[in-house]
Amino acid sequence: MDHSTSTTSKTFQPYVQASVTMAESTTRALILGTVLGIVFAAANAYLGLYIGMTVSASIPAAVMSMFILRKFFKGGTVLENNIVQTIASSGESLAAGIIFTIPAFFIWHASRPEIEIPGLWKIGFITILGGALGILMMIPLRRMLIRDEHETLPYPEGTACAEVLIAGERGGAHAAKVLHGLLVGGFYKLLTGAAILRETLTYNLKTPAKAYFAIDAIPALVGVGYILGLRVSAIMLAGGLLASLVLVPVIAFFGNSATSPIFPSTDAAISAMSSDDIRSMYVRYIGAGAVTMGGIFSLLKAIPALLKSFRLVKGKKAVATLLRTDLDLPAKYVLIGTALVALATWLLAPEAPIISPLVIVFGFIFVTVASRIVGLVGSSSNPVSGMTIATLLGTTILFVALGFTGTSGMVAALLVGAVVCVAICSAGDISQDLKTGFLVGATPRKQQIAEFVGLIAGAIIVGWVVHLLGGTYGFVKDAAHPNPLQAPQANLMAVLIEGVMESKLQWDLIFFGMFLAGIVELFGVTSLAFAIGLYLPVGLSVGIITGALIRFFLDRKRAVSEGEDNGILFSSGLIAGEALIGIGLALLATAGFAFDGFGGILGAAEVPVTLAIYATLLLLLWRSARTA
């Protein structure tokens, strides 16, 4: 491959130059990363099953690595710290892929005892297959997405993590900016975790009925918005506002006369639903269709560059000319590994050998899409469940066409979805990690190996956590489990597969979303960011754009690079602070300690106090970012 064809690769200089040799993939870094990966994977598994969301471990792991290596080992290079966060975030990212799908087996088992709950070894096997697939398929994309599109794909969390690592290495004022943001973000998260402040503020409009506006007033979204910028944030907001101000009230208007539930709702008529219920039951399917079509458009646009990125490096001389910072795992290992994953997938359901090609096809499509999505909007806004829904739709439709239905068809379809879902999460994570490595000057090959170390660490713990929580709290409300964990994505997957298999799915909603994405593309706007905003709650998009607006108005008065932008340093700290405290609260909850005992102490002043403190947060970001 001619690595010199990219202007970016010629002009960009990482923090550690390619000619510099520095301790990187050391034994202490591998061990520390593995330990942190297990901890973060367990915490995220609980958090995701409880509220349906997870937090990124990259920045918290980087901060903890810098502290531990300096405090106890009197050292630690920036590249060692990068390896630690790479391993830790790899283990953590697997949690989302498993908790979004595997609990569906528990849900089915409650009403269909013939469907067995997979054991620990099987869950671990699914985790390793999906994680390996995501890592392997992302490797050939690295040069195209991370190196060649450095200026167009910001990878917010990856950039933020690099800023944290570099600031910690430089020390002084740089580290102080990150520390200030970390303290502010952490303190704010303590207030929301204790239920003193609200995380989501919602305003319901009187006209049209059921229309609403919301904001997720949390530090991490502000930081992501500042790093991301205005254009993509605004496109996301457009999708979110279309959902909350147009689609929800339109569905409420036309469904108001219905006296019985309309699928996918099974227990409530639309007239009895709240705005959020309508969004969850109906608009999310429209969003899933839009994400599917947006992903297809994204893939079609990327095909020319994608083909270029798959050219194999030929000859020893060509390999020798590559810089240390441009070395990947050999292409032959990637191809062999992918083939082995495909063959091993067949062992999950020997009665359905078609699942192997389905896993490879859907895995290839959505690994490519996810790697580009997280480059635009970050891992926190990666619509993993939307892409998994698309996978399940395609798989289940094919099974029905082939006559492979019933419980065996449902199980096989979910297994395909589980492997692909883990692959999507893993690909999104390694994309952010490789961006961090690109900025700090890491060796990609060593990072890619570290991802596999983190994969094994995560596979050890995630299945155990799901079984523990499923047995203790359950995922279906019954006499034994009066207050089950919500597992919202897994519930949706279970309903979706049953709907297709039993011909109850509302295809109109799926195609409606696909047509919306197509219309957006006709305006010359990338539909994927719009579709993500449509699929996610509008409060997330509003929270993101507040940070983006601060950067927009500041950039009109100054011209600074990312490395010298104090706003990015402070934003990185905000993300790190919230993530650290969020994981700590999740660990406390797992241990049986509640931290919400202060809820309601503000009474009627809760909303204005939340707005005032949120405004103070924005002011602190503004003041920190005013000067380079």
Q: How confident is the model at residue 540 (pLDDT cuts 50, 70, 90)?
A: confident
The three-state secondary structure class of 327 is: coil
DSSP state of 52: S
Min mean pLDDT across 92-96, 266-270, 301-305 is at: 301-305
**One-letter identity of residue 485:** L
Q: How confident is the model at residue 320 (pLDDT cuts 50, 70, 90)?
A: very low
Predicted confidence at residue 6, as pLDDT, reads 40
φ, ψ of residue 389 to 5 degrees: the values are: -60, -45
- Look at residue 282 and tell me whether its pLDDT is greater than 80: yes
DSSP state of 20: -
What tokens appear for 587 in the block? 């660990």
Spell out the alpha helix ranges (H) of 346-443: 355-377, 384-402, 406-440
User: What mean pLDDT do residues 90-115 have?
Assistant: 86
Predicted confidence at residue 319, as pLDDT, reads 44
CA pair distance 371, 253, nearest whole angstrom: 38
Residue with tokens 């049953």: 498
Q: Does residue 505 contact residue 208 with C-beta atoms inside 8 Å?
A: no
Q: Which residues of 529-541 are buried (b: 16+ CB within 10 A; e: fewer)?
A: bbbbbbbbbbbbb
- Look at residue 481 and tell me whether its pLDDT is greater than 80: no
CA pair distance 117, 134, nearest whole angstrom: 25
Q: What is the DSSP string of 447-498?
A: HHHHHHHHHHHHHHHHHHHHHHHHHHT-SS-SSS-SS----HHHHHHHHHHH
Predicted confidence at residue 316, as pLDDT, reads 39
Q: How confident is the model at residue 79 (pLDDT cuts 50, 70, 90)?
A: very high
CA pair distance 409, 498, nearest whole angstrom: 10
- Look at residue 308 and tell me whether its pLDDT is greater than 60: no
CA pair distance 370, 476, nearest whole angstrom: 30
**CA nearest to 165, candidates 435, 458, 373:** 435
- Look at residue 53 and tell me whether its pLDDT is greater than 70: no
CA pair distance 52, 13, nearest whole angstrom: 39
Looking at the structure of the chain, the number of domains it has is 1
- Look at residue 56 and tell me whether its pLDDT is greater than 80: no
499 vs 344 pLDDT, higher one = 344
**One-letter identity of residue 567:** G
- Look at residue 403 and tell me whether its pLDDT is greater than 90: no
**CA nearest to 89, candidates 165, 193, 7, 12:** 165
Ranges 218-227, 551-560, 587-596, most confident:
218-227
Beta-ladder partners of 333 = none
- Look at residue 244 and tell me whether its pLDDT is greater than 90: yes
Q: Does residue 124 contact residue 418 with C-beta atoms inside 8 Å?
A: no
Min mean pLDDT across 302-306, 353-357, 366-370, 622-626 is at: 302-306
Q: How confident is the model at residue 39 (pLDDT cuts 50, 70, 90)?
A: confident
**CA nearest to 483, candidates 468, 494, 472:** 472
- Look at residue 303 and tell me whether its pLDDT is greater than 70: no
Predicted confidence at residue 313, as pLDDT, reads 37
User: What mean pLDDT do residues 468-495 have?
Assistant: 75
Q: Percentage of the chain with pLDDT > 70?
A: 89
Predicted confidence at residue 211, as pLDDT, reads 95
CA pair distance 431, 147, nearest whole angstrom: 11
- Look at residue 315 and tell me whether its pLDDT is greater than 50: no
How do residues 108-118 score in pLDDT, each as one tens digit?
Answer: 888 888 888 88
φ, ψ of residue 163 to 5 degrees: the values are: -60, -40
Predicted confidence at residue 173, as pLDDT, reads 60
Min mean pLDDT across 204-208, 259-263, 276-280 is at: 259-263
Min mean pLDDT across 204-213, 251-260, 431-440 is at: 251-260
Q: How confident is the model at residue 5 (pLDDT cuts 50, 70, 90)?
A: very low
DSSP state of 259: -
How do residues 195-237 score in pLDDT, each as one tens digit?
Answer: 888 888 999 999 899 999 999 998 988 988 888 789 888 999 9
The three-state secondary structure class of 346 is: helix
DSSP state of 197: S
Predicted confidence at residue 628, as pLDDT, reads 55
CA pair distance 57, 515, nearest whole angstrom: 36
CA pair distance 139, 328, nearest whole angstrom: 7
Q: How confident is the model at residue 543 (pLDDT cuts 50, 70, 90)?
A: very high
Residue with tokens 């390793």: 128
- Look at residue 570 and tell me whether its pLDDT is greater than 90: no
CA pair distance 432, 453, nearest whole angstrom: 17
Range of the domain at 581: 3-625
Q: What stretches of 190-335 adopt beta strand conformation (E)?
A: 200-204, 212-216
Min mean pLDDT across 91-105, 382-396, 431-445 is at: 382-396
Residue with tokens 């503004």: 622
Q: How confident is the model at residue 281 (pLDDT cuts 50, 70, 90)?
A: confident
User: What mean pLDDT do residues 346-374 have?
Assistant: 88
Peptide bond into 264 cis (omega under 30): yes
